[in-house]
């Protein structure tokens, strides 16, 4: 905790979503993963949530956030250099956590 605003978020332009005026988590950070995964578990156990809806998944998965992009079905458009692999890994981990704790839970990713 060094007082900077990049403890949980990417620094510089990568850490700011220009269209939504919001900050972007650094999913490659162990502390971010621990924070987000423990929150998911807390909601499942304390409030008996039966699933999660993840909003703006395209914005998480790509460094261009899917903005002003046309996806035509070409494999390279979905899994190219613009893919934020750390964010994809987080989505895999949280989905595994959700269904590991509650196999009948629902996971929805809004695109």
The catalytic residues are: 55, 110
What single DSSP character describes residue 28? T
- The rounded distance, in Å, linking the Cα atoms of 21 and 86 is 21
CB 94 within 8 A of CB 37: yes
CB 31 within 8 A of CB 8: yes
């Amino acid at each position: 905790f060094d007082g900077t605003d990049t403890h949980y978020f990417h620094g510089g332009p990568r850490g700011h979503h220009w269209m939504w005026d919001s900050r972007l988590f650094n999913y490659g950070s162990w502390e971010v993963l621990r924070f987000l995964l423990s929150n998911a578990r807390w909601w499942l156990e304390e409030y008996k949530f039966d699933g999660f809806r993840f909003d703006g998944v395209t914005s998480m998965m790509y460094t261009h956030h899917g903005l002003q992009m046309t996806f035509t079905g070409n494999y390279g458009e979905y899994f190219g250099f613009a893919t934020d692999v750390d964010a994809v890994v987080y989505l895999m981990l949280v989905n595994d956590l959700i269904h590991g704790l509650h196999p009948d839970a629902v996971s929805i990713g809004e695109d």
